[in-house]
Amino acid sequence: MPKDGEGSSSPFVEVEFENQRQKTQVKHRDLNPVWNEKLVFHVNDVADLPYRTIEVNVFNEKKSNNSRNFLGKVRVSGSSIAREGEEVPQLYTLDKRSLFSHVRGELSLKLYLSTKEEVKQVINGGGGGSGGVVSGGGGVVSKKNKKMQQQSGNLVVPKQMGPGLGQENNKMGLGLQNQGHLKPIEPGPGDVKPVVITAVPGPVIPTGGAVGGGHFRGGASNDYALKETSPHLGGLNRNKTSSTYDLVEQMQYLYVRVVKVREISLFGGGDVVAEVKLGNYKGITKRVSLGNAEWDQVFAFSKDCIQSSVVEIFVKENNRDEFLGRVWFDLNEVPKRVPPDSQLAPQWYRMEDKKGDRANCGEVMVSIWFGTQADEAFAEAWHSKAANVHLDGLCSIKSKVYLSPKLWYLRVGVIEAQDIVLGDKAVSMNMVRYPELFAKVQVGNQVLRTRIASPTANRSLSNPYWNEDLMFVVAEPFEDYLLVSIEDRLAPNRDEVVGRVILPIGSIERRFDDRVVVSRWFNLDTHFSSQSDSKAVVRFASRIHLRASLEGGYHVLDEATMYSSDVRPTAKQLWKPHIGVLEVGILGASNLMPMKMKEGKGGTTDSYCVAKYGQKWVRTRTVVDSLAPKWNEQYTWEVFDPCTVISFGLFDNSRVDKNMVAGTANRDTRIGKVRIRLSTLETDRVYTHAYPLLMLHPSGVKKMGELHLAVRFSCANMFNVLHMYTMPLLPKMHYVQPLSVSQLDGLRYQAMNVVSLRLSRAEPPLGREVVEYMLDHDSHMWSMRKSKANFIRLTNILGWFVGMSRLLETLRTWNKPVYSTLFLTAFTILALVPELIIPCVLLTMAALGLWRYRSRPRHPPHMDTRLSYAENVHPDELDEEFDSFPTSRSAEIVRMRYDRLRSVAGRIQTVVGDMATQGERFQALLSWRDPRATFLFVIVCLLAAFGFYLVPIRWVVALGGLYYLRPPKFRNKMPSSAVSFFKRLPTNADGML
């Protein structure tokens, strides 16, 4: 942007990294400068580089008073640094320094890490160890500079990074270098030449995964922690407790709605299009014929991208560059609109030609206004930041709300069949055999089979009996059919259908409780006469006895049980009123990892966020080519149970660009996930935090960025919320007629398939990979890491009991006589006055709870790498976790893992055996397996019963406690008689092979 008052600028770039500041030369009176300079910075700790930023500021030098004007700035994350030789030019838009800054232009830079000797000499010699040389390039250049050679060099990178590296290798340089060969992304008055920040590597940060990978830290890191943020939310600034968009930051947009055109004449006979142009951004409508020249399309230009004072609308013939007419608007005259104001009515405007003549150019109907993301046109509008998205991908970048289908359990009871006549294949075998009849039930792609019916004394082989219940998952509307077939197993993998019946699912009875369903007989259709003849042979005698019902009293589990977001039954008649409202503002993300490579843009990410709670799925719009996207979209859910979880997933959109360097995959890539349990949130409090997006890769745990959310859980009646804590978690039918664990696992997999199939039919579709990730489809898979993590969780729980036993042992050994004396006195009082025991215990627990109120958690829980045992996990265990099922690894690796599993399972087997041994010893007290031991125990019980009858229980407890807490000098170091007697009892281990 010109800043010298004469239509030009004399720019230079100043780069700051870790208190090291350097600048380039000044390019006098040049709005498209090219520096081609390299700046080298000393890096103290390479492992910490991804958590640092590089500040790049562009200034205009004023010779008159030796001052400078601000031209723009760029902040680059250290995580985008690549190895030398792999650096990719990055084009950055110059950002404002404050709200009142006026900047324009783009800066092209590249970053790389280097350990070359000449770089070390610059750092150690010329730079004094802390400085260096930075190369910067500039915004727009002339054609004569297009052939400038880029600087490059050889790089030797060590294979591993660790404490064994020498001190010399840890010294690294960070450099900036211009790339003169890049083409402009948005053409301006000249050719755009990116300025590239380059960085120079020694010990390389392990990346892995997609392009750029993520951050890998061997130990605990504060960067994995939850961070509280302070966004400028709309509701907080207006001192309102609730409004439509009070949990997001307002984003200003210029909206242009182009409706239709009239009274124009074409040069040829083609279609007409309208083109909306604002600075370097240009949006084009769909093509329509002149007879029906109506577009009714809305274009949204972000206010941050506005670099012109006027917006122009051109009407063109399909294949011609010349326009038929145009109309333009001064942005200073555009009105503002804030919902709930009604929409601005479009008006007819007379167009003009190139000479400004309005005589024969026709009219176009347009409306234009400034608004925010709360505008009704926001969701369906064309956005300026998606200008490079191809037409086929425009649909996939819009924000949408999806609803999961209403799922039902279908229970089919196959009771029996009568007068089954064997098929032609069985008869043609000419051998004496017993028919092996079973029933196969199919709903869509779900298939279940009963057992093979066995003959009984009162039933013949032609009247098989099963009486088995089979469960399926179906969704409304019921489009599938229930197919029940009776089949005869002739040989392994060879079955013959001897009869079948087809029933529409919509005609099946629905029940909402545990009442008995009336069974019915159905005639079997037996039209399989021979292998080559398809004539129908009707046998009216064959029929089957079925009991089928649609179960509305269950909740169909499609999520992992521990992360359920909804526990209501299927039948809406059984729903209770909602108890609260959950409001979520999906603000944005920061420091995302590049997930793909694009020509001319390098590593980038096209990210969108998906949130799932109950039946409602929301998907934000896709922010294209941004590692710090901002969505600022707000959504609301009704809450029926506070003990539920809302899940957020971040994904990279693979349908945006057809010309990606890395290929065009149809599956969207996972970036990370966040879960928030509603019961951990305080009522009516707005939580604004940056949640770390942690992903487990074969190379370790990586931080893929941060997701910024604003969450508020509000309720009108606190009594209703507290009452929910006394209610069963699942509906009544789960307890009256419970389903087995294996049934629930199979039904959950089928439910996930039904949901993913239904959501993939939406427009735009929500991919199966997204549904699987949000529903945690792989949570049941074996993982050595998860096993260790769960074992650590168990030991943490048992640690409380261990701590109490250690405390008791400390009091018992009288290492602290004062505490032991106080404890002994309190014990004696409670033993002699037992009425005080329960009140004292309850009072102590209440006092402890009140005391801990000060140290209560202030933030919602988040993904914990230490709890997940993800920081110190062995690389081979990670590789095993990411292995396919069945395995795809070599036999040697599988053998090694099997031996390791045997070793771990052997230790678990020993622990389980020891626990069983102790239990069997208790059983042996009265089993007379050891007659002498049982005799002694019976005699002792008789004597003890007589003694407890004579002596009051309080004295027995008091004397027993005093004996147990006696000072050490009155004790014998040998085990007591009772312990010795117990350890001598026999167990069933003697009978094991």
pLDDT of residue 608: 93
- Weakest mean pLDDT among 118-122, 179-183, 441-445, 890-894: 179-183
Which of 82-91, 439-448, 457-466 holds the top average pLDDT?
A: 439-448
191: which strand partners? Answer: 141
- Asked if residue 742 has pLDDT above 80, the reply is yes
SS3 of 328-346: EEEHHHCCECCCCCCCCCC
Q: What is the CA radius of gyration of the chain?
A: 37
- Weakest mean pLDDT among 553-557, 635-639, 741-745: 741-745
Taking residues 903-927, what's their average pLDDT?
Answer: 81
- Weakest mean pLDDT among 82-91, 124-133, 771-780, 799-808: 124-133
580: which strand partners? Answer: 639
- Asked if residue 448 has pLDDT above 90, the reply is yes
> What phi and psi values does residue 925 have, to the nearest 5 degrees?
-60, -35
Extract the tokens encoding 305.
């991208």
Q: Is residue 486 a contact partner of residue 500, using CB atoms and an 8 Å limit?
A: yes
Q: Where is pLDDT greater, at 744 or 120?
A: 744
- Provide the pLDDT confidence category of residue 255 given band limits of 50, 70 and 90: very high
pLDDT of residue 479: 87
pLDDT of residue 183: 31
* Cα–Cα distance, 700 to 865 (Å, whole number): 11
* Cα–Cα distance, 365 to 347 (Å, whole number): 5
* Cα–Cα distance, 890 to 888 (Å, whole number): 7
Q: How many residues does the chain have?
A: 993
Span 693-733, pLDDT tens digits: 988 887 778 889 999 999 999 998 889 998 888 888 899 99
pLDDT of residue 512: 92
Taking residues 31-41, what's their average pLDDT?
Answer: 89
DSSP string, 273-313: EEEEEETTEEEE---B-GGG-EEEEEEEEEGGG---SEEEE
Residues 6+ apart with CB under 8 A from 595: 210, 211, 212, 603, 604, 605, 606, 607, 652, 669, 671
Domains of the chain: 11-113 (2.60.40.150), 252-387 (2.60.40.150), 406-528+539-551 (2.60.40.150), 572-775 (2.60.40.150), 833-991 (no CATH)
- Asked if residue 663 has pLDDT above 50, the reply is no
Question: In the chain, pLDDT over 90 holds for what percent of residues?
Answer: 23
* CA nearest to 195, candidates 89, 59, 103: 89
Which of the 8 DSSP states describes residue 459? B
Please classify residue 175 by burial: count the beta carbons closer than 10 Å to its beta carbon, then call 0-12 exposed, 13-18 middle and 19+ buried. Answer: buried
- Provide the pLDDT confidence category of residue 966 given band limits of 50, 70 and 90: confident
CB atoms within 10 A of CB 467: 12
- Provide the pLDDT confidence category of residue 534 given band limits of 50, 70 and 90: very low
Q: Is residue 93 a contact partner of residue 186, using CB atoms and an 8 Å limit?
A: no
- Cα 307 → chain centroid: 36
3-state secondary structure of 314: strand
Lookup result for tokens 């062995």: 874
Lookup result for tokens 């215990």: 841
Q: Where is pLDDT greater, at 92 or 270?
A: 92
Which of 131-135, 374-378, 503-507 holds the top average pLDDT?
A: 503-507
* CA nearest to 487, candidates 416, 415, 530, 423: 423
- Provide the pLDDT confidence category of residue 162 given band limits of 50, 70 and 90: very low
- Asked if residue 666 has pLDDT above 90, the reply is no
pLDDT of residue 169: 36
* Cα–Cα distance, 135 to 196 (Å, whole number): 8
* CA nearest to 859, candidates 226, 213, 413: 226
Taking residues 376-382, what's their average pLDDT?
Answer: 83
pLDDT of residue 121: 57
User: What rounded mean pLDDT belongs to the chain?
Assistant: 78
pLDDT of residue 407: 94
C-alpha separations of 844 from 529, 827, 848 in Å: 80, 15, 6
Residues 6+ apart with CB under 8 A from 455: 434, 461
Extract the tokens encoding 500.
């079948």
- Weakest mean pLDDT among 9-13, 542-546, 876-880: 876-880
Q: Where is pLDDT greater, at 240 or 102?
A: 102
pLDDT of residue 484: 93
CB atoms within 10 A of CB 440: 18
* Cα–Cα distance, 91 to 74 (Å, whole number): 10
- Asked if residue 118 has pLDDT above 60, the reply is no
Taking residues 942-947, what's their average pLDDT?
Answer: 84
Taking residues 349-373, what's their average pLDDT?
Answer: 86
Residues 6+ apart with CB under 8 A from 50: 77, 78, 79, 81, 205, 215
- Provide the pLDDT confidence category of residue 603 given band limits of 50, 70 and 90: confident
- Provide the pLDDT confidence category of residue 504 given band limits of 50, 70 and 90: very high
pLDDT of residue 747: 93
* Cα–Cα distance, 4 to 29 (Å, whole number): 9
CB atoms within 10 A of CB 230: 7
Q: Is residue 297 a contact partner of residue 286, using CB atoms and an 8 Å limit?
A: yes
Q: Which residues of 758-773 are buried (b: 16+ CB within 10 A; e: fewer)?
A: bbeeeebbbbbbbbbb
* Cα–Cα distance, 298 to 344 (Å, whole number): 12
- Provide the pLDDT confidence category of residue 123 given band limits of 50, 70 and 90: low
3-state secondary structure of 173: strand
- Provide the pLDDT confidence category of residue 141 given band limits of 50, 70 and 90: very low
Taking residues 140-163, what's their average pLDDT?
Answer: 33
* CA nearest to 173, candidates 154, 197, 135, 199: 199
Extract the tokens encoding 494.
């060879």
pLDDT of residue 440: 93
Residues 6+ apart with CB under 8 A from 199: 78, 81, 82, 87, 111, 112, 113, 114, 174, 175
The pairing of beta strand 272-278 with beta strand 281-284: antiparallel
Question: In the chain, pLDDT over 70 holds for what percent of residues?
Answer: 82
- Asked if residue 600 has pLDDT above 50, the reply is yes
Taking residues 867-880, what's their average pLDDT?
Answer: 75
* Cα–Cα distance, 22 to 17 (Å, whole number): 9
Q: Where is pLDDT greater, at 39 or 898?
A: 39
- Provide the pLDDT confidence category of residue 431 given band limits of 50, 70 and 90: low
Instruction: Work out the angle between the directed axes of helices 953-964 and 817-832 (0-180°, nearest 10).
Output: 170
- Provide the pLDDT confidence category of residue 366 given band limits of 50, 70 and 90: very high
- Provide the pLDDT confidence category of residue 660 given band limits of 50, 70 and 90: very low
- Asked if residue 537 has pLDDT above 60, the reply is no
* Cα–Cα distance, 373 to 430 (Å, whole number): 77
- Asked if residue 205 has pLDDT above 60, the reply is no
Taking residues 480-494, what's their average pLDDT?
Answer: 87
Q: Where is pLDDT greater, at 538 or 287?
A: 287
Q: Is residue 544 a contact partner of residue 453, using CB atoms and an 8 Å limit?
A: no
pLDDT of residue 126: 46
Q: What angle do CA 695, 696, 701 make, to 5 degrees?
A: 90
192: which strand partners? Answer: 140
pLDDT of residue 952: 78
Q: Where is pLDDT greater, at 490 or 425?
A: 490
- Asked if residue 539 has pLDDT above 60, the reply is no
Span 299-350, pLDDT tens digits: 999 887 787 888 999 988 876 778 888 899 988 888 888 777 788 889 999 9
Q: What angle do CA 159, 165, 170 make, to 5 degrees?
A: 100
Provide the terminal-to-terminal Cα distance of the chain, rounded to the nearest Å: 87
Q: Is residue 99 a contact partner of residue 122, using CB atoms and an 8 Å limit?
A: no
Taking residues 130-159, what's their average pLDDT?
Answer: 34
pLDDT of residue 84: 77
Strand extents, DSSP E, 351-406: 363-371, 382-383, 400-403
